[in-house]
Amino acid sequence: MPVADLPEEDERAAAVAAIDAWSARELARGEALVAAERQEVTDRTATHRWYMRFKGDEKEYITVWLTLNQRTLHHEAQFMPAPEENKEAVFQYLLRRNAELYAMAFCLGPEDAVYLVGRVAAADVNDDELDRITGSSIHYVDEHFPTAMTLGYPKLYRRRPRRGGGRPSS
């Protein structure tokens, strides 16, 4: 399939339209996406930013931030606050998990909080890619959050009961 080299402005406009249409459809479905908001960015660090809030299993809500830059779409989800205990064990666990993640990685952000981040070309933004980004973000957070929080907050964190009232499986 031939690839067209779109001018930057057309590429960004197509990505904005794709994200807006995708989020509207997902909100209308009323399943995992419970809120979506687009913000214009006026400080010239990006062109647009979206906040998408999803229902999670292990975390009540998982927010995925999408930031459209000049030629890329950056995505991130706040995974957990900085661990209070066993920092080395938490970071070792997450670094080992990075090898299993597709097109995303755990990294440290402000105040040593842990984020799940990735980046794709703006030209690649479409429904399938948005499904992959958001679905993977939700899956990776729900899969790894309990272990990381148990290590980092052993006195405070307790797993959430699974939907339907059952105990989580090990």
pLDDT at 67: 95
Task: Say which CATH number the domain at 25 has.
Answer: 3.30.1460.10
Is residue 2 situated within a structural domain?
no
Whether 4 shows a pLDDT value over 70: the answer reads no
Is residue 67 situated within a structural domain?
yes
Number of domains within the chain: 1
Reported as a single tens digit per residue, the pLDDT across 122-140 is: 999 999 999 999 999 999 9
Q: What is the DSSP string of 101-156?
A: -SS-EEEE-GGG-EEEEEEEEGGG-SHHHHHHHHHHHHHHHHHHHHHHHHHH-TTT
> Global pTM?
0.86
Parent domain of 69 = 8-130
